[in-house]
Structure 1
Amino acid sequence: MTYAVALRLERGLVFAADTRTNAGVDNIAQYKKLQLWQKPGDRVLVLMSAGNLAATQAVLSLLNEPLADPESQVPNLYNAPNMYRAARVVGNAIREARRVDGPALEASKLGFNTHFIFGGQVKGERPRLFLVYPEGNFIEATDDTPFFQIGEHKYGKPILDRVARADMRLGEAAKLILLSFDSTLRSNLSVGLPIDLVVYERDTFGIRREMRIGADDDYFRQLSNAWSEALRHAFSTIEEFKV
C-alpha cells in the first residue's frame, strides 16, 4: 500500500508520497510513486499514485509514450492547453490501461485498483490540483478543501482537517504534510520511509525543492519528537474527566 498527500495553496503546491509497496515480516519493496514533468517557463506537472503497481506503471507508460515525439499532435501532458485538459489526458490514460488490463484483473478478483493525485501549473492559470479516480474521472481541490490524500489516509487526515488552509506558507504546508506522515508511519506498517517531497512555488515553473526523506533525516526526526512532546504537553494541560 502507500500514502500520498498534496496541498494546493495560494503560494503554490506541496506533494509527498512514501515509497513502500509491499509490507510483511519478510517482504518489503520500494518504488518511486511521485512523477514529475517540467517545461521551463511553461509548466510543471506532478503525478502521485496508489494501488496496483503494475496498473499504475501502465498508466505512467501511456503518459510518457507521446512525449518522446515533440511534434506529436496527440493530446499529451506537454501540449495540453491548461491543467483541466492535462487532467483529462491522465484520465484517458487510466481508461486505456483499464481497457487492456481490467478484464484480467477483474477475473482474478484483484480489480483495477488505482488512484492518482495530479497537480501543477500551466502558464496562464493558477496552480491546480486534482484527485483522479480508477474510472478516469476526477475532482478538483478548492479553497474549502485544499488537500487530497490517496492510499492509507485515515491516520494522517485528522491533522490535515484541523490545520490545512489555502493561505499557508509553503514551509508550513510541508511541515503539516510531514506531520501527517509521522502519524501514519506510527500506526500503519504498509506505509514506510523514505518519503519523496516536492515543493512548487507559484509562477516559477521550476521546482523549488525536491528531496527524499529517509530515517536518518534530521529535520523529520526532530519534527516527530517535537510533535510527540507537544501532544503529551497538550494532553496534560487539559482538565481531567470527572469520575
Structure 2
Amino acid sequence: MTYCVGLRLNRGLVFMSDTRTNAGVDNISTFRKMHSWCVPGERFITLLTAGNLATTQAVVSLLEERSKAQEERNPSILEQPSMFQVATLVGQTLREVIAHQSQNGQQADGPFRATLILGGQIDPGPTRLFMIYPEGNFIEASDDTPFFQIGETKYGRPILIRAYDPDMDFPEAIKLLLVSFDSTVKANLSVGLPFDVQTYAADSLDYGFQTRIEANDPYFHLISDGWGDALRDAFASLPRFDSGG
C-alpha cells in the first residue's frame, strides 16, 4: 500500500509520500513514489504515484524517456504549454500503460490500477494540482478541495481536514503532513518510512526544499511523541460522560 499527499497553499504546493510498497513479516520493499521535472524559469512538475508498482514505474519511465532528447519529445511533459495539458498527457500515458499490461487490453479494473497526484506550474500559468484516475481522467484541486490523498487515505485525513489553513507556511504544512503520515503508519503496517518531502514556492519555477525523512529522524519522533501526548491530554480534558448513575 501507499500514502501520498499533495497540498495546495496560498504560497505554493507541498508534497509528501511514503516509500513502502510491500509489507509482511519478512517482505518489505522501498521504492520512490515522488518524481519531479524542472526547467528553471519555465516549469516545475511533481508526480506522486500509488497503485501497482509495475504500472507506476512504467508511467514514470515513459514520461522520463519522452522528456530527454529534443527529437524524442513527442509527446513530452516538457513541451506541453499548460499544467492542464500535462495532466491530460499523464492521464493518457497511465491509460496506455494499463491497457498494455491488462490481459484484455482495455479494462482498468484489475491488478494494474494506479492513481496519481500531479502538481506544478508552467509559466505564465498559475500553480495547479490534479488527481489522475486509472481511466486517465482527472480532477483539479480548488478552494473547496485544497488537497489530494492517494493510497491508504482514511487514517491521515481527519487531521488534514481539521488543521489545514491555506495561509500556513511550508514548515507548518510539513508538520501537518507528518502528523497525518504518523497516524497512517500507526494504523497500517503497509505504509512506512522513509518519507519524501518536496515544497514548491509559487512563481519560483524551480525546485524548492527537498528532503527524505528517515525512520530515525529526531524531528519526526518529536512530532510523533508530541502528538500522542497532546491527544491523551485533550482526551483527559474532555468532560466525563454522564451515565445518570
Q: TM-score range by the shorter chain?
A: over 0.9
2:67–2:73 Cα contact (<8 Å) kept = no
Instruction: State the shift of 1:71 in Å.
Output: 4.1
Q: Give the aligned partner of residue 121 of structure 2.
A: 121
1:117–1:130 Cα contact (<8 Å) kept = yes
Equivalent-residue separation in structure 1 for 2:218 and 2:104 (angstroms): 45
Instruction: State the shift of 1:167 in Å.
Output: 2.4
Equivalent-residue separation in structure 1 for 2:105 and 2:35 (angstroms): 24
Is 1:163–2:191 an aligned residue pair?
Answer: no
Matches within 5 A, 1:192-231: 192-231=192-231
Instruction: State the shift of 1:74 in Å.
Output: 2.1
Instruction: State the shift of 1:106 in Å.
Output: 8.6
For 2:194, give the aligned amino acid.
P
Instruction: State the shift of 1:166 in Å.
Output: 2.3
Q: Give the aligned partner of residue 100 of structure 1.
A: 100
Higher mean C-alpha displacement, 230-239 vs 158-167: 158-167
Instruction: State the shift of 1:73 in Å.
Output: 5.5
Q: Give the aligned partner of residue 57 of structure 1.
A: 57
TM-score by length of 1: 0.95
Instruction: State the shift of 1:207 in Å.
Output: 2.1
Equivalent-residue separation in structure 2 for 1:167 and 1:141 (angstroms): 16
Q: Give the aligned partner of residue 144 of structure 2.
A: 144
Gaps of 5+ in 2: none
- Provide closer, same or farther for how the CA distance between residues 171 and 5 of structure 1 changes in structure 2, counting only shifts above 3 A: same
Higher mean C-alpha displacement, 18-27 vs 167-176: 167-176
Equivalent-residue separation in structure 1 for 2:149 and 2:50 (angstroms): 10
Equivalent-residue separation in structure 2 for 1:35 and 1:75 (angstroms): 18
Q: Give the aligned partner of residue 239 of structure 2.
A: 239
Higher mean C-alpha displacement, 220-229 vs 18-27: 220-229
Q: Give the aligned partner of residue 133 of structure 1.
A: 133
Higher mean C-alpha displacement, 223-232 vs 72-81: 72-81
* Alpha-carbon displacement from aligned partner over 1:88-127 (angstroms, at most 9, x marks no partner): 11011111112211226999x9432101001011111221
Instruction: State the shift of 1:208 in Å.
Output: 2.1
Q: Give the aligned partner of residue 77 of structure 1.
A: 77
Q: Give the aligned partner of residue 11 of structure 1.
A: 11
Equivalenced residues, count: 242
Instruction: State the shift of 1:220 in Å.
Output: 0.8
For 1:191, give the aligned amino acid.
V
TM-score by length of 2: 0.94
- Provide closer, same or farther for how the CA distance between residues 142 and 42 of structure 1 changes in structure 2, counting only shifts above 3 A: same
1:38–1:206 Cα contact (<8 Å) kept = yes
- DSSP-derived class of the 2:76 partner: coil
Computed over aligned residues only, the root mean square deviation of the Cα atoms, in angstroms, reads 1.6
Runs of 4+ deviating beyond 3 Å: 104-107
2:98–2:105 Cα contact (<8 Å) kept = no
